[in-house]
């Protein structure tokens, strides 16, 4: 796909649709998109098997639903897949363990009495990183949450780079202003724990700190999201991860309610 971001105008956006993958070919297209973004663009380190196939894949893919944003005008070898999100329901019947358990103690979330959705592997093709594409992804998630009566959703979200000091402002802001309630708070595993409280609250300009947050994390915060205790350095993906949690009964922001009304009803 060689269209630039500026070319994705309203007319182009009208060719986008959001839905779940319905075939192994579409899942593989999402995996190829993940590979291009995570490994070729962001510098993550693939396994030899991934490099040989130019796909990002793991054991969780077969247990998840795969949300896709598809550009119907560009159904080439990529099948038009320009955005993706991996959705993993605890109540799906395929559940084994949470992916995030590799970085966080998620025992409190595992014990949560309602329906739980783990989100992950989110990425968008570089030519489609626009507000419209992100809105399509959130619209799809809203529909999925409604269809499956999800009570809590969570997942690891990433900040670029592996130097916590360079991320001191956003990490400290998240700790001081958005730490999850104790009863649902994940904590980074002891051997991976990186302190997020790097600066005193009084020294942080909240508006400036929010600007430094990646769009995905800001999206979670707009939904009333919280973060767990401790960041984790992900050396493979060249990122610093935080665990984000959203209780859907606390979501009152009109931003999300709009997507509930306009979301697909068959996810």
pLDDT (0 to 100) of residue 266:
59
pLDDT value for 202: 96
Region class of 118: left (phi > 0), else alpha (psi between -120 and 50), else beta: beta
179 DSSP β-pair partners? 227
Distance between CA 111 and CA 108 in Å, rounded? 5
Residue 226 lies in a domain: yes
pTM (2 d.p.): 0.87
Task: Tell me, yes or no, whether 36 lies in a domain.
Answer: yes
Structural domain includes residue 172: yes
**β-strands 116-124, 152-160: how paired?**
parallel
Instruction: Kindly state whether residue 38 falls inside one of the protein's structural domains.
Output: yes
CATH code of the domain in which 61 resides: 3.40.630.30
Q: Is residue 255 part of a domain?
A: yes
Number of Cβ within a 10 Å radius of residue 161: 12
Q: Are 201 and 174 in contact (CB under 8 A)?
A: no
Query: 34 lies in which domain range?
Result: 5-262
pLDDT in tens, the chain (267 residues): 222 333 344 445 578 999 999 999 999 999 999 999 999 999 999 999 999 999 999 999 999 999 999 998 876 767 899 999 999 999 998 888 999 999 999 999 999 999 999 999 999 999 998 888 988 998 899 889 989 999 999 999 999 999 999 999 999 999 999 999 999 999 999 999 999 999 999 999 999 999 999 988 998 898 889 999 999 999 999 999 999 999 987 664 444 555 555 556 556
Euclidean distance between CA atoms 144 and 136, whole angstroms: 12
Q: What is the pLDDT of residue 7?
A: 38
| Residue 142: inside a domain | yes
In a domain, 267, yes or no: no
Which pLDDT belongs to residue 93? 87
The count of domains in the chain is 1
Residue 213 lies in a domain: yes
């Amino acid at each position: 796909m060689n269209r630039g971001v500026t070319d994705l105008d309203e007319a182009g956006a009208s060719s986008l649709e959001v839905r779940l993958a319905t075939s192994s070919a579409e899942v593989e297209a999402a995996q190829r998109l993940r590979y291009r973004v995570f490994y070729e663009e962001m510098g993550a380190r693939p396994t030899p098997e991934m490099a040989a196939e130019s796909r990002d894949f793991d054991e969780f893919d077969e247990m998840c639903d795969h949300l896709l944003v598809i550009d119907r005008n560009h159904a080439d070898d990529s099948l038009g897949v320009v955005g993706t999100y991996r959705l993993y329901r605890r109540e799906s019947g395929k559940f084994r363990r949470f992916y995030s358990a590799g970085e966080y103690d998620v025992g409190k979330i595992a014990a949560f009495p309602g329906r739980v959705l783990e989100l992950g592997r989110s990425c968008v093709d570089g030519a489609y990183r626009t507000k419209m594409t992100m809105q399509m992804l959130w619209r799809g998630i809203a529909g999925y949450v409604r269809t499956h009566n999800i009570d809590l959703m969570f997942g690891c979200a990433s900040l670029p780079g592996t130097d916590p000091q360079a991320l001191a402002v956003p990490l400290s802001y998240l700790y001081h202003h958005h730490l999850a309630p104790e009863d649902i708070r994940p904590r980074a595993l002891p051997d991976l724990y990186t302190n997020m409280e790097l600066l005193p609250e009084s020294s942080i300009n909240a508006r400036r700190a929010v600007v430094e947050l990646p769009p995905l994390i800001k999206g979670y915060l707009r939904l009333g999201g919280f973060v767990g205790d401790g960041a984790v350095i992900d050396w493979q993906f060249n990122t610093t991860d935080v665990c984000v949690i959203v209780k859907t009964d606390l979501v009152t922001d009109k931003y999300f309610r709009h997507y509930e009304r306009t979301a697909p009803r068959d996810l």
